[in-house]
Homo-oligomer: A and B are copies of this chain.
Amino acid sequence: MALNVRTLCLAILSMRDATGYEIRKLVTEGAFSHFIAASYGAIYPALAQLLTDRLVTMREEEQTGKPARKVYSITAAGQRALADALATLPGRDIYKSEFLLQMMFADRLPARQLAAIYDAYIAMQEAELAQLQEESRNMPQTPGACFVRDYGRLMLTTVLDFLKARRDRLLDECARAAQSENEEEAS
């Protein structure tokens, strides 16, 4: 079985108790955000499912005003299910990059736009690196977490170096390619 939101919730709950809201935060802004995604519409039903399967338990904490927090904890059965799921994951990555597709056709894009897309991507990666740095401070120091953090840091700095080094060359080559294409059309 491939990675799904249920397994993801189980994994997070194995580190600490959490509410659906907190899980979403971890997944969108926390240590997991760099290699995983999940929305409310997936997380809440997943937690409900885990509860009926008795892989987690839930306690409600009343609050004034806000709806009661539903804090989930993993059970022993959940720990076993997680270990099992982790072990049987096919372990293949899914990488979909709109940016690389755009770059593949860089010479078809108007020069102005290409530069804009490129710089926006650099900014995105830089933001991601900054966030990773931020997270590193209040992150559990398990060997796995450190490994993943270092992995992310290396990848991001490598990408950024490459992007910055190659920027002008790419823009230049694309300008030339567009020019020679125009000449061909004219002839």
Contact = CB atoms under 8 A, between A and B. Distances in A.
Nearest to A176: B143
Contacts of A98: 2-3, 89-93
A144 B94 contact: no
A117 to B, nearest CB: 6
A109 B83 CA distance: 7
Contacts of A132: none
Interface in A1-58: 2-3, 8, 11, 14, 31-32, 34-37
Contacts of A99: 91-93
A3 B94 contact: no
A130 interface: no
B11 A104 contact: yes
A160 to B, nearest CB: 12
Given A104-B144, A143-B174, A144-B103, A95 B34 contact: yes
Contacts of A144: 103-107, 170, 174
Contacts of A83: 108-109
A177 B32 CA distance: 21
A105 B162 contact: no
A121 B91 contact: yes
Given A106-B144, A107-B143, A147-B166, 16 more contacts: A11-B104, A32-B101, A34-B95, A34-B100, A35-B96, A37-B94, A83-B109, A89-B98, A89-B102, A91-B98, A93-B96, A94-B97, A103-B147, A103-B148, A144-B170, A158-B158
The 4 closest A-B pairs by CB, nearest first: A143-B173, A106-B144, A35-B97, A94-B96
